Amino acid sequence: MNHKTWIESRLDIVVRSTEIDVNGHVNNAKYLEYLEWGREDFYEQAKLPYDVLYRLGYVTVTANININYRKEAKQNDVLTVITRPGLLGNTSFTLEQTIILGAKDLLIADASVTIVTVDAATRKPVLVPEQLRKWF
């Protein structure tokens, strides 16, 4: 596979006190938010933020997230969310994401996220546009 146009997003996040649950570590639901921030960064790097995709007549919707929680993260940890292109289908694609504890390069969580491209007006699935396809 030729990855000459392939991109990888790396977004650093500092864990805040409001993200900690009663067990003293980052709440599981918060990781989904971290992953979303990583995907937004991926789109930004691809020069396809929401408003640009929308003007082209497309929106993307998350259809499935498979996440593995590997290690706990705690307040003030600096985490890095890494987002890479995965598989490309007709109307969907996957983004492969990992969250690492930056200082130790320790795997905290990993996820595969399936995203469907839909027509902004009809909300029906459409072929992944070339502007996105080129990154896979």
> Active-site residue numbers?
21
Burial string for 79-114 (b: 16+ CB within 10 Å, else e) reads bbbbbbbeeeeeebbbbebbbbbbeeeeebbbbebb
The candidate with the shortest Cα–Cα distance to 31, out of 86, 77, 84, is 77
